[in-house]
Amino acid sequence: MEDERRYLFIDFEFTMPDKGRGFKGFYPEIIEVGVVAVINDRIIDQYSSYISPIRFPKLSERCKSFLHITQEQVDQGISFLELVKKLKELSDNQSCTIITWGNMDMRVLRTNCQKADLVFPFSGKEVDLSMEYKRFFGDQNQTGLWKAVQEYGKEGTGKHHRALDDAMTTYNIFRLVEKDKRYLEKHEPTTIGDRIDFSKLLNKFA
């Protein structure tokens, strides 16, 4: 349908080297994915999986500690090729808006596709919600995902740095920001004439 509003809210977790011990030729690889598919404000699908890294299959201690992901989990995960196929399937081979918190997710996906000689799976618009949030609230600095949701007086969904939980939290912030935008569009600033009933005021002095 032409008027369908199709969104994919995506979060990836990536490999990282140990501090002070960079691997030669290192680049971040996706090791966990979380996707929330939404059409017309309704969640129609959710997906999460671990992914086996190709170039540097052994996780660093820092990566395992920071993300609470084990070597066994990624070893048993799907291949990167399967991930790209799944992302294409989730977009239903149609143009949809991809929403992430920050620009790293799509940058890493693009790099991983290039390194694996695979076609990038998306053709739609990409939105960095952290920049939208920054512009909307006039913040000088970009805000972290869970700090942003707490500024709304809410809590993140599940655990931070779990890909599907972060994707769901991104979706929840998107809904809050869109609601605020609609509210501001409907409520134009009041004029002095709106606040004072001049007919009553004139009668008082007549």
Catalytic residue among 2, 4, 13, 132: 13
- The contacts of residue 72 (CB under 8 Å, 6+ apart) are none
Cβ–Cβ under 8 Å, residues 18 and 61:
yes
Beta bridge partners of 78: 51
In this structure, which amino acid lies at residue 100?
A: T
Active site annotation includes 13: yes
Q: What is the pLDDT of residue 44?
A: 95
> In a 3-state reduction of DSSP, which class is residue 51?
strand
Nearest alpha carbon to residue 124 among 102, 92, 101, 165: 92
Report d(CA 166, CA 155) in Å as an integer.
11
Q: Tell me if residue 68 is catalytic.
A: no
First-to-final CA distance of the chain: 62
Candidate list 61, 161, 185, 187, residue with the active-site label: 161
pLDDT of the residue at 193: 46
**Average pLDDT per block of 10 residues along the chain, 206 residues long:** 78 91 84 96 95 95 94 98 96 87 96 97 92 77 76 69 91 87 62 48 49
Q: Would you state the pLDDT for residue 134?
A: 84
Domains and CATH numbers, the chain: 6-205 (3.30.420.10)
